[in-house]
Amino acid sequence: MHYAITDYVLDIVQNACEAHASTVHVQFWETMAWIDVVVRDNGRGMDPAEQVKALDPFHSEPDKHPGRKVGLGLPFLKQAAGQCGGLFELQSEPGKGTKVHFRFDRTNIDCPPVGDLEGLFFSALCMPGCRDMGIERIREGVSGLPALSYRLEKGELAGAVGGLEQVSSLILLKEYIRSQEEG
């Protein structure tokens, strides 16, 4: 089971890349009252029957997860969001991609912690397979923290730091993400 909201997001991004998405966009919006996340991709998508299976914790695509026969990411996310008065939406169309939208009510005692946003954004931008990765980050009125809004685009960042294959480039990327989070 996932511990933090960032774990759920990374799982969805990984699913998108495994679904052969060339474009993935993540919106992470945080206020004092809620955390709202949207992940969109242009991967292979799912028909209605596949969407039902994706929300079944006792089902997983053959060979997707070697060594286990269950897929728990989306079912646990749906359950966790529901337990804290949030929402969960899954929209998908074969050949067009998938959109996962969820919201957690921060004021609810069952709301999981946010987790490591810098690590999430770094891992998502470095995920193999997706050529176009975009991240939009918004924070408004979170206790004691300044408001912020920024966008990260994988192509622009790779061009600025000289690709995402060299350790020196990855260090620069990590520092840049940290600077954005600090406002």
Mean model confidence pLDDT for the chain: 90
Residue-level pLDDT at 65: 47
Q: What are phi and psi of 50, to 5 degrees?
A: -65, -35
Is the pLDDT score of 4 beyond 70?
A: yes
**Size of the chain in residues:** 183
Sign of CA pseudo-dihedral 121, 122, 128, 130: positive
| Residue position matching structure tokens 């609810």 | 108
Bridge partners of 26, per DSSP, are 39, 135
Taking the alpha carbons at both ends of the chain, their separation in whole angstroms is: 32
**How far is 135 from 27, CA to CA, in rounded Å?**
6
pLDDT confidence tier of residue 104, bands split at 50, 70 and 90: very high
Q: Evaluate whether 78 touches 88 at the Cβ level (below 8 Å).
A: yes
Q: Which two tokens stand for residue 93?
A: 């169309």
pTM: predicted TM-score of the whole model, two decimal places:
0.90
Residue-level pLDDT at 174: 95
Query: What's domain 5-182's architecture?
Result: 2-Layer Sandwich (3.30)
